[in-house]
Structure 1
Amino acid sequence: MKEIDIRNVSDFFIGQTEDNTGTTGCTVILSKEGAVAGVDVRGGAPGTRETDLMRSENMVQKVHGLFLAGGSAYGLSAGSGVMQWLEEHHIGFETGPVKVPIVPGAILYDIDPSRPAVRPDAAMGYEAARIAWENPPFSNGRYGAGTGATVGKLFGRENSMKGGIGSYAFQSGKVKVGAVIAVNCFGDVVDPGTGRVVAGLHKNGEFLRTETHLMNNVSTVPVTDSFQGNTTIGVLLTNASLHKSEANKLASISHNGLARTIRPSHTYVDGDTLFTMHGDEVACDVNGLGAMAAFAVEKAVLRAFEH
């Protein structure tokens, strides 16, 4: 196995843009010919667009773009900008009189209390799509959908830490797999190899370990407001050929990478959502691909903090 550039996984184009005055942003992945895609939503508080059409039994087989954005539900507007850019470039699902770009997406909560009106919109989605077509190097950290992300929020923002977005890609034989993950979790980020807390709930320079605190205080009724502002979202990219049903299963398996690195993950107050996009180039064993997918997600989560 060898690490590769996320841009070399397949014929995907990734772009990011952000508004640092409101600490929010958008990340877009485009596919000119369309890509078989899947999705799996595990968190209890998701915000998504066009995920129903990705169900295995539904008609549309490919997506042309996908976005990850901040802004809570307001950030779903970014998808309209991605659609506009794709329509202008004649990319979409052929319906006869017009091509309709298929653009699913997911959002995370990063609204800045001091600038609540600043959030991703159609203009930001359009700009991220334009940048994606230029195929720039991917930036890990406080960029795109990870710009305003935070982690470890059990005791509110003052005891949380900055999150971010990370990418990781690698190759085994002819099969290539990569992940782009925006980390904005309620829990802590933990290196599964060492057990070390990378980022999360802290006080007076010490990590408090969210998972342990929750278990020790399970009889305590939580204050709802302290659980605001969570969700980890991302996309798994591969050159593997899969049917739509397999793509959805791979999205499900990919969540293993979140479970290894985020403690706890998939909580009632997270909206954890992972997509997959497939380049349809190489046949492979789906079980092996699943193992690669979970590993890529795991590494991408950690990369969000290596800046």
Structure 2
Amino acid sequence: MPEQISFSQIEGVSAGNAQNDEAKTGVTVFVFPEGAVAACDVSGGGPASREVPVVDVEKNDININAIVLGGGSAFGLAASDGVMKCLEENSMGYDTHFAKVPIVVQSDIYDLSYGSAKIRPDSAMGYEACKNALEKNSPVSGNIGGGCGATAGKICGMKRAQKSGIGYAAFKLGELKVGAAVVVNSFGDVYSNSKKICGLMNENRTEYCDFLEQLYKTVSEKYAGTFKNTNTTIGAVFTNGNFSKSDLKKIAVMTRAAYAKCIIPCGTMGDGDTIYAASCGTKVPSDVNTAGILATAAMEAAIADAVRSSRISDEEYLSNIK
């Protein structure tokens, strides 16, 4: 049976955070000191992303140096400028002979309806998060970094949704290690072991409501306003398995099953759901199917961690919504 391990036991990747606690937005950076082969699966209809074509299986095999998960919607993509600056100062990047160009991919959640919509992750915040990642601090779950402004269950608006955040989990089977990190900012509700743990509440916020029942009702009454592009669950899986870009694409696609199992609904046109997959560290020989199964299990656990580590009082939550 797989052994659950800490995310920090995944070699070849380190995580760092930076955020504006008053504005409730931030960024999380995953740095690969030795580079990483990577691929990506985008299943949602409204992603905010940067440089994702670099990890397309049809493009050149160029190792990436960092994955950025942030807030601020498309505005927050500016954080990668600071990440690139920090990596360049540390001599990390693709060597073009004239300069080393850091290869940084990024995906953002829409968190402008929580905290301040005027303050978003920028170059300075990206630089700080990257610097923290290079110091190899242990990853932190909850209302930190890219998870600062994450919420879930928003079909009836922010007043009936709940706070979510960023979560981590990892497993080991033999020499193979697979870890997952995820920022849960979903249109749908979040489940763990078939039990709802975050999402749509009643008007008095005393108990959960049935999301799908409300969805069908809302669609029949006012279809046009149901699927707004203000949600996204963004995550990544990391493995020491020796995989090609096409292998990693398959692992990312398999990991999507965790989204489908734990977030109902997911992958809608109102979500920008995205999963990166990266091979880093010792690169042990492994099987794609085994890694995909472990990645799915790790993502399920990370989704639950993102919710449970982000609990705040209703008073605090309501004071920060728009």
Q: Specify the TM-score bucket, using the shorter chain as the normaliser.
A: over 0.9
2:249 aligned with 1:270: no
Map of 1:201 onto structure 2: 200
Name the CA shift for 1:99/1:119 in 2 (closer, same or farther; >3 Å): same
Measure, in 2, the Cα distance between the counterparts of 1:100 and 1:232.
Answer: 28
Map of 2:295 onto structure 1: 293
Alignment of 1:195-234 (within 5 A): 195-203=194-202, 204=204, 205-215=206-216, 218-224=219-225, 227=228, 229-234=230-235
Map of 2:49 onto structure 1: 48
Measure, in 2, the Cα distance between the counterparts of 1:25 and 1:114.
Answer: 11
After superposing the two structures, state which structure 1 stretch, 134-143 or 93-102, moved more. Answer: 134-143
CA deviations over 1:254-285 (Å, ceiling 9, x no partner) = 11111110011111100001101111511111
Map of 1:160 onto structure 2: 161
After superposing the two structures, state which structure 1 stretch, 132-141 or 180-189, moved more. Answer: 132-141
**TM-score between the two structures when normalised by the length of structure 1:** 0.96
Measure, in 2, the Cα distance between the counterparts of 1:158 and 1:175.
Answer: 43
Q: Percent identity?
A: 38
Measure, in 2, the Cα distance between the counterparts of 1:42 and 1:209.
Answer: 24
Map of 2:79 onto structure 1: 78
Map of 1:170 onto structure 2: 171
Name the CA shift for 1:19/1:65 in 2 (closer, same or farther; >3 Å): same
Measure, in 2, the Cα distance between the counterparts of 1:119 and 1:103.
Answer: 19
Residue 168 of structure 1: SS of its match in structure 2? strand
**Offset of residue 226 of structure 1:** 7.5
Measure, in 2, the Cα distance between the counterparts of 1:123 and 1:305.
Answer: 28
After superposing the two structures, state which structure 1 stretch, 174-183 or 200-209, moved more. Answer: 200-209
**Offset of residue 225 of structure 1:** 7.4
CA contact (8 A) 2:86 2:131 kept: yes
Alignment of 1:175-194 (within 5 A): 175-191=176-192, 193=193
Amino acid of the structure 2 residue aligned with 1:303: D
Measure, in 2, the Cα distance between the counterparts of 1:229 and 1:163.
Answer: 15
Name the CA shift for 1:291/1:225 in 2 (closer, same or farther; >3 Å): closer
**TM-score between the two structures when normalised by the length of structure 2:** 0.91
Amino acid of the structure 1 residue aligned with 2:7: I
Measure, in 2, the Cα distance between the counterparts of 1:248 and 1:226.
Answer: 27
**Offset of residue 114 of structure 1:** 6.1
After superposing the two structures, state which structure 1 stretch, 11-20 or 210-219, moved more. Answer: 210-219
Amino acid of the structure 2 residue aligned with 1:296: A
CA contact (8 A) 1:140 1:306 kept: no
CA contact (8 A) 1:200 1:209 kept: no
In the alignment of these two chains, the number of paired residues is 305
**Structure 1, unpaired ranges of 5+:** none
Measure, in 2, the Cα distance between the counterparts of 1:86 and 1:207.
Answer: 45
CA deviations over 1:62-107 (Å, ceiling 9, x no partner) = 1011100000000100111111000000000010110100000100
CA deviations over 1:209-252 (Å, ceiling 9, x no partner) = 22232245543333527735210001101100101111111111
**Offset of residue 35 of structure 1:** 0.3
**Offset of residue 167 of structure 1:** 0.2
Measure, in 1, the Cα distance between the counterparts of 2:104 and 2:241.
Answer: 21
Amino acid of the structure 2 residue aligned with 1:199: C
Residue 104 of structure 2: SS of its match in structure 1? coil
**Offset of residue 115 of structure 1:** 2.5
**Offset of residue 197 of structure 1:** 0.9
**Structure 2, unpaired ranges of 5+:** 310-322
Measure, in 1, the Cα distance between the counterparts of 2:302 and 2:63.
Answer: 25
Amino acid of the structure 1 residue aligned with 2:292: G
Measure, in 2, the Cα distance between the counterparts of 1:252 and 1:211.
Answer: 25
CA contact (8 A) 2:12 2:32 kept: yes
Residue 67 of structure 1: SS of its match in structure 2? strand
Map of 1:133 onto structure 2: 134
Amino acid of the structure 2 residue aligned with 1:130: K
Name the CA shift for 1:224/1:215 in 2 (closer, same or farther; >3 Å): closer
